[in-house]
Amino acid sequence: MELSHTVAALLVACFAGLGCIQAVTLDVKEGNSTCIKAELSASFSITYDTISSTRTVQVPLPDSATVDTGSSSCGTDESLPWLVAVFGPGHALGLSFSSNGSLYSVANLTLQYNLSDSATFPEANSSDVVTVVSATVGIWAAINTTYHCVSPVTLRVGGATVTFSDMRLEAFMPGNDLSPTESVCMADTTTTTAPPTAAASTTAAPAPTPSGTPEHGTYSVKNNNGTVCLLAQMGLQFNISYVSKSQNKTVQDLVNLTPSQTNVSGLCEASRATLVLTEEPNTTLSFTFTLNSTTNKYHLSGISLLAMWPDMTARFLASNTSLEYLRSSLGRSYMCNAEQTLIVEPTLSLNTFRLQVQPFGVITDQFATAEECQMDQDQMLIPIIVGAALAGLVLIVLIAYLIGRKRSHAGYQTI
Ligand SMILES: *[C@@H]1O[C@H](CO)[C@@H](O)[C@H](O)[C@H]1NC(C)=O
Ligand SMILES: *[C@@H]1O[C@H](CO)[C@@H](O)[C@H](O)[C@H]1NC(C)=O
Ligand SMILES: *[C@@H]1O[C@H](CO)[C@@H](O)[C@H](O)[C@H]1NC(C)=O
Ligand SMILES: *[C@@H]1O[C@H](CO)[C@@H](O)[C@H](O)[C@H]1NC(C)=O
Ligand SMILES: *[C@@H]1O[C@H](CO)[C@@H](O)[C@H](O)[C@H]1NC(C)=O
Ligand SMILES: *[C@@H]1O[C@H](CO)[C@@H](O)[C@H](O)[C@H]1NC(C)=O
Ligand SMILES: *[C@@H]1O[C@H](CO)[C@@H](O)[C@H](O)[C@H]1NC(C)=O
Ligand SMILES: *[C@@H]1O[C@H](CO)[C@@H](O)[C@H](O)[C@H]1NC(C)=O
Ligand SMILES: *[C@@H]1O[C@H](CO)[C@@H](O)[C@H](O)[C@H]1NC(C)=O
Ligand SMILES: *[C@@H]1O[C@H](CO)[C@@H](O)[C@H](O)[C@H]1NC(C)=O
Ligand SMILES: *[C@@H]1O[C@H](CO)[C@@H](O)[C@H](O)[C@H]1NC(C)=O
CA 170 to chain centre: 19
Which residues contact residue 319 at a Cβ distance below 8 angstroms, ignoring those fewer than 6 apart?
182, 302, 303, 304, 305, 344, 345
Q: Do 155 and 224 belong together in one domain?
A: no
Task: Please tell me the distance between residue 331's alpha carbon and the centre of ligand 10 in angstroms.
Answer: 18
Here the CATH number for the domain that contains residue 77 is 2.40.160.110
Backbone angles phi, psi at 167, to 5 degrees: -105, 130
Q: Give the whole-angstrom CA distance, residue 415 versus residue 409.
A: 10
Ligand 7 in reach of 174 Cβ (< 6 A):
yes
Q: Are residues 224 and 340 in the same domain?
A: yes
**Closest C-alpha to 235, from 372, 339, 353:** 353
Asked, for residue 202, whether it belongs to a domain, the answer is: no
What residue's CA is closest to ligand 2, atom 5?
32
184 and 217 co-located in one domain: no
Asked, for residue 394, whether it belongs to a domain, the answer is no
- Examine the domain organization and report whether 182 and 221 are in the same domain: no
Atom of ligand 8 nearest to the CA of 239: 1
The SS3 assignment for 188 reads helix
Rg over alpha carbons for the chain, rounded to the nearest Å, is 28
Sequence-ordered list of residues with C-beta below 8 angstroms from that of 296, at least 6 positions apart, any chain: 329, 330, 331
**CA 240 from centroid of its chain's CA atoms:** 21
**What pTM did the predictor assign?**
0.51
Nearest CA to ligand 4 atom 13: 90
Cα distance between residue 56 and residue 361, in whole Å: 30
State which ligand 7 atom lies nearest to the alpha carbon of 143. 13
On whether residue 323 sits in a domain, the answer given is yes
Residue type, 191: T
Range of the domain at 333: 212-373
Residues 32 and 81 in one domain: yes
CA distance 197 to 186: 17
Q: Is the CB of 226 under 6 A from ligand 1?
A: no
What gap in Å lies between CA 46 and CA 326, rounded to an integer?
40
CB 22 within 8 A of CB 59: no
Atom of ligand 2 nearest to the CA of 32: 1
Alpha helices by DSSP H, listed for 216-258, are none
Question: How many whole angstroms from 81 Cα to the centroid of ligand 11?
Answer: 33
Q: Which SS3 state, helix, strand or coil, does residue 393 take? A: helix
Which of 87, 112, 116, 118 maximizes ligand 4 atoms within 8 Å of its Cβ, making it the mutation to test the pocket? 116
- Residues 187, 216 share a domain: no
Q: Are residues 247 and 166 in the same domain?
A: no
Q: How far apart, in whole angstroms, are the C-alpha atoms of residue 180 and residue 168?
A: 11
182 & 225 share domain: no
pLDDT at 389: 78
Same structural domain, 297 and 339: yes
CB 59 within 8 A of CB 91: yes
Kindly give the distance from the C-alpha atom of residue 307 to the centroid of ligand 11, in angstroms, as a whole number.
19
Please tell me the distance from the alpha carbon of residue 302 to that of residue 285, in angstroms, as a whole number: 11
Flag whether 280 is in a domain: yes
Residue 107: its pLDDT value, please? 93
**48 and 130 co-located in one domain:** yes
Q: Which residue out of 103, 145, 172, 183 has the highest number of ligand 5 atoms within 8 Å of its CB and is therefore the one to mutate?
A: 103
Considering its fold, how many domains does the chain have in total? Answer: 2
In the chain, helix, strand, coil percent, each to 5?
Answer: 15, 50, 35
Predicted confidence pLDDT, tens digits, the chain (415 residues): 334 333 322 222 233 222 335 678 999 999 989 999 999 888 898 999 998 888 888 888 988 899 999 999 999 888 999 999 999 999 999 999 999 989 999 999 999 999 999 999 999 999 999 999 998 888 999 999 999 988 778 888 988 889 888 899 999 999 998 998 889 888 776 543 333 322 233 333 445 555 688 999 999 998 877 889 999 999 999 999 999 989 999 999 999 999 999 988 888 888 888 898 988 777 889 899 999 999 999 999 999 888 888 888 887 888 888 899 999 999 999 999 999 999 999 999 999 999 999 999 999 899 999 999 988 888 777 767 777 777 877 887 888 888 887 777 665 555 4
Domain check: are 256 and 358 in the same one? yes
Residue of the CA atom closest to atom 13 of ligand 2: 31
Give a yes or no: residue 396 inside a domain: no
Q: Assess whether 222 and 174 both reside in one domain.
A: no
**Which amino acid would we find at residue 53?**
S
Residues with CB under 6 A from ligand 3: 79-80, 82, 96, 108, 110, 133, 135
- Residue 105 and residue 87: Cα distance in Å, rounded? 24
